[in-house]
Amino acid sequence: MGKEIATREQDYSQWYNDLVIKGQLADYSAVRGCMVIKPYGYALWENMRDVLDRKFKDTGHQNAYFPLFVPKSLFEAEEKNAEGFAKECAVVTHYRLKSDENNPGKLIVDPEAKLEEELVVRPTSEAIIWNTYKGWIQSYRDLPILVNQWANVVRWEMRTRLFLRTAEFLWQEGHTAHATKEEALVETKLMLDVYADFAENWMALPVIKGVKTVNERFAGAEETYCIEAMMQDGKALQAGTSHFLGQNFAKAFDVKFSDKENKLEYVWATSWGVSTRLIGALVMAHSDDDGLILPPRIAPIQVVIVPIYKGEEQKAQLDEKVLAIVKGLKELGISVKYDDSDNQRPGWKFAEYELKGVPVRLAIGARDLQNNVIEVARRDTKEKQSVSLDGIEQYIKNLLEEIQQNIYNRALAYRDEHITKADTWDEFVNLLDTKAGFISAHWDGSSETEDKIKELAKATIRCIPLNNPFEEGKCILSGNPSTQRVLFARAY
């Protein structure tokens, strides 16, 4: 009856693409690797953005906007950062097109409009922002600077996936400047907590807070903190990162401040970001073979009401009652859609809203009206129930909270069941091939070993969990001593 989608078991990757496209979140575009975010997907992003923006402001941050382009000479100033992103930079080299004399109606790049210095389309904005901060910071009185930017960035990826890995994506990037190392470290961890709180309590997505190994650090950072989530195929998805940048960018752009003793010091930095990639995480963590399952707290439509009727008279009776319910739900802050369009049958609508992951569907017909009841269907469990119309608004409000909690609990249970310990290399390799999920194992702490494991097993260290218990052990590959387990996984 509805649109065909692949099942997870058949083809996990196709299932994901079907949900994104047929669920109306996004579409491919004519530009290699770039997507179109459709209205339903963008409404979801707006809800996520608004919650995060409120959290940023509540923790003292302000928004600003910096240029899309980074002159090459600034881009290359912080060498590690430049090296890390150089291979995926879109570069503007010209500023004009002109008519093609050999091809009427066509345009060519005007060779006379070549830029003296090429401009990199920002893959991240540390360079342009720290070059700007140089002009904003003289004294300790100018610190801290707590600024965030909502923007598009471009990273030229060879293999792209809708939301998960696109050449252009939307994100926020916080860039803060501090007088002391301690303050910058506090900020780095504070924002990690903000992300974890958002992921768990709004996206219903359990995450593990951790720190990246040297190999997996953000290019230019001294330390990268992250939240890692588990998808339903057991793979890991990095859902957000918060970087302690030390004085690297301050040194690259010569940003100093005079402290209270009038001594000149380099400024300390952090940066942190999450992106539209989170939408991919949301889709893969919660959905099922019938479509999306969206957590109520960020769903664009929380409740849909479908009338079932024959003829105008029945419709008019239903309208009266339903519009009162709509009003009541809106007064409780619930977003509700009354779909009384007459160009599709109720069954088609049921399948469509199931596919789009609307948390609660209400259906009501003439008989229901007589009996003073309405059919309530939960998207998460697919349970249906006939519920009294008396106090239905409060019932729905409670139900939405229950669904939010249930989606989280389900994802948490799945994740916890899929973190397994391995103590030998054989166990490790065997687990990777036979059981989805993360592997908790000892590692000797060297980049060399990490590289070798990646090469041999295609698994990376997702993070060293914060608050990890210390225990004696031996590295699964090298056998060298280790004091704590780290989390390995194959990852998006």
Does the protein bind a copy of itself through residue 294 (CB under 8 A)? no
Helix axes 277-286, 392-417, angle to 10 degrees: 90
Give residues with Cβ within 8 angstroms of 264, minimum separation 6.
Answer: 256, 257, 258
Residue choice 8, 51, 84, 118 for contact with a copy of itself (CB under 8 A): 118
Interaction between residue 135 and a copy of itself (CB under 8 A): yes
- Contact between 298 and a copy of itself by CB under 8 A: the answer reads no
The answer to whether residue 69 forms part of the interface with a copy of itself (CB under 8 A) is yes
**Phi and psi of 227, rounded to 5°?**
-115, 130
**Would you count residue 170 as binding a copy of itself (CB under 8 A)?**
yes
Q: Which residues pair with 161 in a beta bridge?
A: 165
Interface with a copy of itself in residues 10-39 (CB under 8 A): 27, 29-31, 34-39
Q: Which two tokens stand for residue 116?
A: 């003296």
The phi, psi pair for 382, rounded to 5°, reads 65, 15
Burial string for 220-255 (b: 16+ CB within 10 Å, else e) reads: bbbbbbbbbbbbbbbbbbbbbbbbbbbbbbbebbeb
Q: Is 474 one of the binding residues for a copy of itself (CB under 8 A)?
A: no
Q: Which stretch binds a copy of itself (CB under 8 A): 73-81, 259-267, 290-298, 315-323?
A: 73-81
Cβ 396 vs Cβ 374: under 8 Å: no
Reading the block at residue 133, the tokens are 């901060």
Contact range with a copy of itself by CB under 8 A, out of 120-128, 312-320, 391-399, 423-431:
120-128
User: Is residue 293 within the footprint of a copy of itself (CB under 8 A)?
Assistant: no
Among 147, 279, 322, 457, binds a copy of itself (CB under 8 A): 147
| 174 is a site residue for a copy of itself (CB under 8 A) | no
Residues numbered 343 to 402 that lie near a copy of itself (CB under 8 A) are: 343
**Interaction between residue 257 and a copy of itself (CB under 8 A):** no
The smaller minimum CB distance to a copy of itself, of residues 349 and 378, is found at: 349
d(CA 319, CA 339): 11
Classify residue 461 by its DSSP letter.
E
Q: How near is the Cβ of 169 to a copy of itself at its closest, in Å? A: 10
27, two tokens: 């579409």
As to burial, measured by CB atoms within 10 angstroms (0-12 exposed, 13-18 middle, 19+ buried), residue 40 is: middle
Q: What angle in degrees, to the nearest 10, is found between the helix axes of 39-58 and 181-201? A: 140
Residue 131 binds to a copy of itself (criterion: CB under 8 A): yes
- Shortest distance, position 330 Cβ to a copy of itself, whole Å: 14
Task: Give yes or no for residue 124 binding a copy of itself (CB under 8 A).
Answer: no
- Is residue 121 near a copy of itself by the rule CB under 8 A? yes
Instruction: Work out whether the CA dihedral 391, 392, 393, 394 comes out positive or negative.
Output: positive
Tokens of 418: 């899929």
Confirm or reject binding of residue 67 to a copy of itself (CB under 8 A): yes
User: What is the CA 352 to chain-centroid distance, rounded?
Assistant: 24
Provide the token pair at 382.
């697919």
Q: Which two tokens stand for residue 428?
A: 């490790």
**Contact 24/283 with Cβ under 8 angstroms?**
no
**Residue number with CB closer to a copy of itself (128 or 255):** 128
Contact range with a copy of itself by CB under 8 A, out of 69-77, 224-232, 360-368, 394-402: 69-77
What is the total count of residues that contact a copy of itself (CB under 8 A)?
67
168 is an interface residue for a copy of itself by CB under 8 A = yes
Q: Binding to a copy of itself by residue 63, rule CB under 8 A? A: yes
From 79-87, 304-312, 387-395, 424-432, give the range in contact with a copy of itself by CB under 8 A: 79-87
Distances (CA, A) of 467 to 54, 99, 209, 440: 28, 63, 9, 14
Within 80-99, the residues that bind a copy of itself by CB under 8 A are 82-83, 86-99
Q: What is the DSSP letter of 344?
A: S
In the complex, the smallest distance separating the C-beta of residue 249 from a copy of itself, rounded to whole angstroms, is: 14
Residue from the set 15, 16, 56, 66 that interacts with a copy of itself by CB under 8 A = 66
Q: Site residues (CB under 8 A) for a copy of itself? A: 27, 29-31, 34-39, 41-43, 45-46, 62-72, 74-76, 79, 82-83, 86-99, 105-107, 109, 118-121, 128, 131-132, 135, 141, 147, 151-152, 154, 156, 168, 170, 343
